[in-house]
Structure 1
């Protein structure tokens, strides 16, 4: 920092500036700092921000926040991918100092003689402003200078034109004693880094043919998996995540349900990467050829889907690296290579990479692999267990890749200690899996989401209600309503969410004693009859499509920083909102955590968080049912898990009342029709009641 005035506690700054803060193109990024000065003269602050091209963006003035806290606030909106830089400046504002003094002296009744020096000082400041204001406004400024120096005018007419320039000189201030703070970095990604809806499926299961007595099972391929793309797109997803597509090792291959002994027809886990056919830069021959993969990417893009690829830095015992570079692994005392363990779990089919024996060689090879797939058209990588690899390696790799292709995104699959998850976000991971799955009460979910909002400068959550590894007991035993509840929570609390195939079919049977699926697709082919499930009404797909449509249509849901919670007097219910000041769009959600019983509650809404005044009435329109209600700050709600476990409201400010036509005389008596009370605390619904959803029961 250089200059006269202290500038402290600048935000957003991550780890004292060691890493850049994060934003996406078009996101409103709040910038704040603490700045103060001696005495009573006015202080001003502004943000200087430079785009990736090095060009300065428009002057951004900061406003003072809470009285007495000396905290200044502004917002910037980056418009390009890349590294941005910003600096907070503090300056003496002579116009504001003059305005404050003159206003007080006029109120005290001082006359022209007592204000002579003030009038001269005002003219000096305005003359300096002539070089700063737009050409179209210079005439006004000159007229104000003339007025201040005109002794023949009455005092109010001398001062008035100068005081009327307050708004102009706020945007184009005269700055003296400018102090420049430290420069800080902001990495800006494309919008999908923050707002995305993910769907995971195994290509080998799509179009697979189960084994029969007469014939072995036949794997699905990229060509057959294309048939599933329209169904995924119809549900409103925009990212299709594929587990590893590489050759699968045969040595120590796991059998069905993670058994240690594999039958000859067992397909093995895709995460046991590498065999005679190749390693991380190869495609499993059962899935097809590189040309088939490129055709699959093109078909997905045609459906509005971007394909995310798994990056799992581990090897099967027969991976080419094991023989070509044995130094890249850990050798045990008996001379064997150590396989992966997470006691009591053992992964005999996987060798972890040891990054310490030949770090330069390993880094060069992995960078080559990643850039190979980037060259094939992949721009999103879901990274398997990044917390088990060195953090300096990830920091190096991510920024090496972004130098080549800034649009590449990385999702961290790291279910580990909070400090590590936050650390991965800081060093460059675009998004992160979270503890969402294990937050099963309203109070837990609220506290966790508030923690994530506080970390929005560097960590972007992606909420998943299930994965191939995780089938939480709430889904095992909660019935179909719980599948709806968890989908609402995941899709509408976080800007990014995802689900693993089978969720829409209410798959809920777990392997005994484990939090994962029975007959797990990680170890076997699992073809599903999507069309039959849809035809029989055993699919959640229409509900998922509605949630994703609501997400897409409401800009407020595209952000994380705007998440606000509201009080509700029932601990089984959670109430939250998101408001977008630019568009005025507001979404208000009340969701039950109880999948078995009807729950009532009374809300106490934070009205300013909705963009409303405390006294206002407004209309809420339920996007799930089409019903509308008249609401205020306090409202009663009733949620039935089988009919409607959540309200998803868009908030509509009522139009001002029309001026009534004058009438000659009022009738002697008026008859008022009774209006039935609405279960949600307002007037009667304007659309039919929700349809019976018993058909969701599996």
Structure 2
């Protein structure tokens, strides 16, 4: 039934409340609704209910116009929350605000005071003083203006929650509060190259990864494969086995232990394509579809319950060995309902495990994967060829209420003309886009492998990566989904965007193709064109109408703070 003060179209509301909105502790959630008053002033508030069932203090909503009301709330603990909107009439305060005008316009004072008395007396159960004030308003032995003054003083002294009438409530909507690392992370991929040849070699590089400020180390598939190890080749051994060319399960345990010691979580990429000899194929031949060249693809529709069990067994098995995150390629090619079941079961068995969907999912597909439980998805930054393409990716970083982006800057992703063949300056520029454009980002050990010296001075890639992660830790604005604004730049090939959380604001200017020195203008960012701004990368000072970029400094991260 519609409340006396109707509240309609509460947002976010995902698939009529079937799926929860998602935040991390302390991340703002903006709740909006249509609140429809009539002739009486009204109020509305958002109420959070914690996983333990305790209500948090209501957060007042404010009217934005056209009956749209809004409030921003934050949850402080991981778990399953709810939120709802309460509404009420401010009958007593409406009376107090109009009473003098009504009398001045000819209303009978005794009638008006009687109306106020009834409203005040209704508070008697909550405030005993209301009984005395209500009776006083009816006492005709006292002049009307004195009684009115007493009544108005009483209303002015009331706490906000008293004096409300016809309080109504919407149905609760679900809110999932994930661990902070579901939103924020700096990932480092150990790529299949000579320095990372075995698990022991990878373990030896963990101190370097941690020293650069990364908090997740990503491993390629460990399964025994028909091709080279560390690759997404068809799997020939068990999905919970380690390729003997990489080492043993004990070597993996040692890697995980060392990673945790230096503050790194371990992420593992998985592949579901198998070759002859894989135990799954021998046990469940009907669950696979041949794709040629002795390769078989797991078919989720062949036996949904069985496939679900295999996938879940694999995820839980690796999680039991200390793997804290998984990378799933092309998850959008699988039935969404299967992932919904898998992730629900995984959350119950290993609630701290994160899942990243990587591939060419469209924004709508990424949204759907986030709805059913994936924590992060990778937009197609690897396909960007210029400023316009990158702007399209960045424009989607804060879009929606559940999708969390994970930007990747790593050679070998299909951008052969830039990262694969680019020098240190180009690699630093694209790394800055990923690291400063999204709360979660990733690069690869191959980014540090620059071929040959350059004729121009260029930044040291490893040092630059470490500095990017320092900036992320120092600026809360860089670790939020919202607050990214694109800016016009008077130079082709140069990208500019600002990040802000209200108190912390930065302007990032990146030369995506740093072949020669450039002087650029960004007229619509951070203040007046002539105002001096400091680059947090090298400490130099610049103005918005004359920013200098060159191969040694392809990125500027500017703030106005002194």
State TM-score, norm by structure 2.
0.88
Q: Measure how far apart 1:618 and its partner are.
A: 7.9
**Aligned counterpart, 1:563:** 484
Distance 1:445 1:270 in 2: 28
Map 1:108-187 → 2, pairs under 5 A: 115-117=112-114, 119-120=116-117, 123-124=120-121, 127=124, 130=127, 151=142, 154=146, 157-158=149-150, 161-162=153-154, 164-165=156-157, 168-169=159-160, 172-187=161-176
Secondary structure of 1:636's counterpart equals coil
Q: Measure how far apart 1:568 and its partner are.
A: 4.5
Distance 1:472 1:204 in 2: 18
1:471 to 1:364, Cα distance in 2 relative to 1, 3 A: same
State whether structure 2 residue 71 is matched by structure 1 residue 74.
yes
Secondary structure of 2:430's counterpart equals helix
Q: Measure how far apart 1:15 and its partner are.
A: 2.8
Q: Measure how far apart 1:155 and its partner are.
A: 7.5
Q: Tell which deviates more after alignment, 484-493 or 596-605.
A: 596-605
Deviations along 1:312-371, one digit per CA (max 9) or x if unpaired, are 2221333121222211112xxxxxx324xxxxxxxx464210122222222112212211
- The match for 2:80 among 79, 83, 93 is 83
- The match for 2:395 among 450, 453, 457 is 450
Deviations along 1:356-389, one digit per CA (max 9) or x if unpaired, are 2222222112212211112112221111221222
**Aligned counterpart, 2:10:** 10
Map 1:637-656 → 2, pairs under 5 A: 637-652=546-561
**Aligned counterpart, 2:253:** 294
Deviations along 1:108-131, one digit per CA (max 9) or x if unpaired, are 799966852464356336646538
Q: Tell which deviates more after alignment, 494-503 or 117-126.
A: 117-126
1:178 to 1:159, Cα distance in 2 relative to 1, 3 A: closer
State whether structure 2 residue 160 is matched by structure 1 residue 239.
no
Q: Measure how far apart 1:199 and its partner are.
A: 0.7
Secondary structure of 2:242's counterpart equals coil
Question: Are 2:78 and 2:179, in contact at CA under 8 Å, matched by a contact in 1?
Answer: yes
Question: Are 1:119 and 1:149, in contact at CA under 8 Å, matched by a contact in 2?
Answer: no
Question: Are 1:594 and 1:641, in contact at CA under 8 Å, matched by a contact in 2?
Answer: no
Deviations along 1:618-646, one digit per CA (max 9) or x if unpaired, are 874321112356x7xxx313232324233
1:73 to 1:616, Cα distance in 2 relative to 1, 3 A: farther
State whether structure 2 residue 407 is matched by structure 1 residue 488.
no
**Aligned counterpart, 2:29:** 29
**Aligned counterpart, 2:377:** 432
Distance 2:18 2:194 in 1: 44
Gaps of 5+ in 2: none
Map 1:310-459 → 2, pairs under 5 A: 310-330=269-289, 337-339=290-292, 348=293, 350-455=295-400, 457-459=401-403
Q: Measure how far apart 1:183 and its partner are.
A: 2.5
**Aligned counterpart, 1:466:** 410
Q: Measure how far apart 1:202 and its partner are.
A: 3.8
Secondary structure of 1:370's counterpart equals helix
Distance 2:137 2:512 in 1: 67
Q: Tell which deviates more after alignment, 546-555 or 152-161.
A: 152-161
Distance 1:645 1:102 in 2: 66
State whether structure 2 residue 247 is matched by structure 1 residue 270.
no
Question: Are 1:86 and 1:183, in contact at CA under 8 Å, matched by a contact in 2?
Answer: yes
**Aligned counterpart, 2:449:** 505
1:204 to 1:177, Cα distance in 2 relative to 1, 3 A: same
Question: Are 1:592 and 1:599, in contact at CA under 8 Å, matched by a contact in 2?
Answer: no
Question: Are 2:212 and 2:463, in contact at CA under 8 Å, matched by a contact in 1?
Answer: yes
1:305 to 1:161, Cα distance in 2 relative to 1, 3 A: same
Q: Tell which deviates more after alignment, 424-433 or 144-153.
A: 144-153
Q: Measure how far apart 1:75 and its partner are.
A: 1.7
Secondary structure of 1:14's counterpart equals coil
Deviations along 1:156-193, one digit per CA (max 9) or x if unpaired, are 85356346447x31xx2544323332321122110011
Distance 1:304 1:119 in 2: 64
Question: Are 1:506 and 1:539, in contact at CA under 8 Å, matched by a contact in 2?
Answer: no
Distance 1:604 1:539 in 2: 31
Distance 1:76 1:575 in 2: 30
- The match for 1:625 among 525, 538, 544 is 538
**Aligned counterpart, 1:548:** 469
Deviations along 1:514-564, one digit per CA (max 9) or x if unpaired, are xxxxxxxxxxxxxxxxxx99xx98840111111110001111111112223
1:595 to 1:361, Cα distance in 2 relative to 1, 3 A: same
Secondary structure of 2:523's counterpart equals strand
Distance 2:136 2:449 in 1: 77
Distance 1:70 1:92 in 2: 15
Distance 2:422 2:113 in 1: 79
**Aligned counterpart, 1:63:** 62
Distance 2:311 2:283 in 1: 15
Secondary structure of 2:187's counterpart equals strand
Question: Are 1:273 and 1:280, in contact at CA under 8 Å, matched by a contact in 2?
Answer: no
Question: Are 1:247 and 1:274, in contact at CA under 8 Å, matched by a contact in 2?
Answer: yes
State whether structure 2 residue 75 is matched by structure 1 residue 98.
no
Distance 1:490 1:245 in 2: 26
1:360 to 1:589, Cα distance in 2 relative to 1, 3 A: same
**Aligned counterpart, 1:600:** 520
1:247 to 1:310, Cα distance in 2 relative to 1, 3 A: same
Question: Are 1:143 and 1:161, in contact at CA under 8 Å, matched by a contact in 2?
Answer: no
- How many aligned positions are there? 556
1:36 to 1:619, Cα distance in 2 relative to 1, 3 A: farther
Distance 1:576 1:142 in 2: 60
Question: Are 2:424 and 2:460, in contact at CA under 8 Å, matched by a contact in 1?
Answer: no
Distance 2:349 2:442 in 1: 28
**Aligned counterpart, 1:574:** 495
Deviations along 1:230-258, one digit per CA (max 9) or x if unpaired, are 11112111111101111112xxx4xxxxx
Q: Measure how far apart 1:286 and its partner are.
A: 2.6
**Aligned counterpart, 1:284:** 243
1:467 to 1:537, Cα distance in 2 relative to 1, 3 A: closer
Question: Are 1:98 and 1:121, in contact at CA under 8 Å, matched by a contact in 2?
Answer: no
Q: Measure how far apart 1:105 and its partner are.
A: 4.9
Q: Measure how far apart 1:36 and its partner are.
A: 0.7
1:299 to 1:15, Cα distance in 2 relative to 1, 3 A: same
Secondary structure of 2:505's counterpart equals strand
Secondary structure of 2:214's counterpart equals coil
